[in-house]
Chain A
């Protein structure tokens, strides 16, 4: 495998933006390329991740390309998914060996629709979507299963929210931050029991971008490149009925394949939009005490403004 590193990163995130996709992207892409030390014209591959359902407009990635500038013709791709998936494609592309840098970006304006309706469209259309269970209710089912199995308490969940908000104070892109006492959080009302406001993620609009560079070129342009030492992706079964909702075997398998499981880890940024999911993912990754989890503040910590 060819060594690939992230040499620069930039982002923009707000609860609701008055900018369109291109206006959000231009400053972030400009910044990430400048910081990469790679001239824009030398970037070998460009890939974006987004989901048209979020913004409510078809082929939004085509319009978003305006922010990149596609002349002379660039080598470009898009995934109808998130930035992590786009980053994976860039990493695979760099393994080909003929290019040594790639621009990855992801964008979305989730605030334009009602996420509780939008997210239903990702469900199985025959038996689940017609029941229209919104994503918070589905997460609540999972949290309830966790509580019933004795795998966590509502206090544990509030503690994760409190820690996330505290850590978010150092992150300019985080929405809600500050000191919150677990006792006070536990007085919050339920959004969907057992999930309280602080257990749920924010709705946000934003952009994230990274430049990936392979091998010696990465060492040349960046003092401390973040090397990607392992990468793997798995998915749980689509049908909720066949799963134990309290576990994430796909995460465990991906961690093993990527070489994380059981190794010494200092820090883990994990995607856990609901507080109880941090516990599921933490256990699936085999992270032990002493690992700094989501020092950025993570994906919880800010309530949906509609809740």
Chain B
């Protein structure tokens, strides 16, 4: 038994909260498309930028993005990082690459895993394509794309994506 005068150095105060998140109408459309293997962006009527995943309103202009625009599941790596830090629940073997991928037809890059080549060979301008799960395994989440893998095309020129970094 500790003496009453012993300082209490730590208490346990576990907090657990459960939520059922409603994605909203814009994101719901996008996630329904993912199950079908389609990537649906939205175009801002004011600045004409195409957002994927779509946004209810353009962050720049503050107006609703109502026009739905299908974009390709191929794209260009605009920037990336190599993950070397282990953490709990990590599914990928170290080192692995997380990158910003500018899908063809989109104006803002999407974040996803990049694999299919050694981590130290991933580079800006690398052309990649989505590696989809089989249709039966797809769910309304971007995890329905396992990762992006190289297409084998020549690298995109810096000029082609410099406005999207």
A joins B in a complex: yes
Residues of A within 8 A of B (CB): 16-23, 25-26, 29, 40, 53, 55-57, 65-71, 109, 112-114, 117-118, 121, 125-126, 129-130
- When A66-B62, A67-B62, A125-B13 are in contact, do A109 and B57 touch as well, CB less than 8 Å? no
CB distance from B153 to the nearest CB of A (A): 33
Q: Does B56 contact A (CB under 8 A)?
A: yes
Q: How many A-B residue pairs have CB under 8 A?
A: 90
- Say whether, besides A20-B56, A71-B60, A129 and B22 are in contact (CB < 8 Å): no
Contact yes or no, A118 B59, CB < 8 A: no
Also in contact, A18 and B62, with CB within 8 A (given A117-B17, A125-B13): no
State whether the Cβ of B24 lies closer than 8 Å to any Cβ in chain A: yes
Q: CA–CA, A52 to B64, complex, Å?
A: 23
Decide: B60 and A69 in contact? CB cutoff 8 A. Answer: yes
Enumerate chain A residues within 8 angstroms of B63, measured Cβ to Cβ: 26, 69
In the complex, B85 has a CB within 8 A of chain A = no
Residues of chain B within 8 A of A21, CB atoms compared:
24
Task: State whether A129 touches B13 (Cβ < 8 A).
Answer: yes
Q: A18-B25, A26-B57, A117-B18 are known; give 9 further A-B pairs, CB within 8 A.
A: A53-B17, A56-B17, A66-B58, A67-B62, A69-B57, A69-B60, A112-B22, A126-B11, A129-B13
Q: What is the CB-to-nearest-CB distance from A259 to chain B, in angstroms, rounded to a whole number?
A: 37
Report the minimum CB–CB distance from A306 to chain B (whole Å).
12
B19 at the binding interface (Cβ < 8 Å): yes
| Given known A67-B56, A71-B60, A126-B11, contact A20–B27 (CB-CB < 8 A) | yes
Interface size class of B (residues with CB under 8 A): 20 to 34
Q: Is the CB of A113 within 8 A of B56?
A: no
On whether A19 and B25 interact (CB within 8 A), knowing A56-B17, A121-B15, A126-B11, the answer reads yes
Q: Which residue of A lies closest to B15 (CB)?
A: A121
* Bound Cα distance from A129 to B24, whole angstroms: 32
Given the complex, which residues of B lie within 8 Å of A121, measured CB to CB?
A: 15, 17
Q: Is the CB of B11 within 8 A of A109?
A: no
Cα A26 to Cα B59 in complex, Å, equals 11
In the complex, which of the residues A19, A53, A109 has the most CB atoms of chain B within 10 Å of its own CB atom?
Answer: A19
Q: Chain B nearest CB: distance from A39 CB in Å?
A: 13
In the complex, what residue of chain A is closest to B60 when comparing beta carbons? A71
Contact of B57 with A67 in the complex, beta carbons under 8 Å:
yes
Given contacts A20-B27, A70-B62, contact A112 B17 (CB under 8 A): no
Q: Which residues of B contact A113 (CB under 8 A)?
A: 17-20
Complex interface residues of chain B between 12 and 36 (CB less than 8 A to chain A):
13, 15-28
CB<8 Å pairs between A and B, sample of 8: A26-B57, A26-B62, A26-B63, A53-B17, A56-B21, A69-B58, A70-B62, A117-B16
A103 to chain B, nearest CB (A): 11
Q: How many whole Å from B84's CB to the nearest CB in chain A?
A: 25
Kindly state whether residue B127 has any CB partner on chain A within 8 Å.
Answer: no
Q: Say yes or no for B61: interface residue by CB 8 A criterion.
A: yes
Q: Check B17–A66 contact: CB distance below 8 A.
A: no
For B20, the closest partner residue in chain A by CB is A112
Smallest CB–CB gap between A123 and chain B, Å?
11
> CB distance A70 to B59 under 8 Å?
yes
Choose one: B19, B21, B62; the contact of A69 (CB below 8 Å). B62
CB closest residue in chain B, given A23: B56
> Which A residues touch B22, using CB under 8 A?
16-20, 109, 112
CB-CB < 8 A to B56: which residues of A? 19-20, 22-23, 26, 66-67
A129 vs B63: C-alpha distance in the bound complex, in angstroms?
42
From residue A225, how far is it (CB to closest CB) to chain B in Å?
25
Bound CA span A57–B22, Å: 11
Flag if B24 contacts A22 (CB, 8 Å). yes
Name the B residues within 8 Å of A67 (CB-CB): 56-57, 62
Chain B residue, CB-CB nearest to A114: B18
Are A23 and B25 in contact (CB-based, < 8 A)? yes
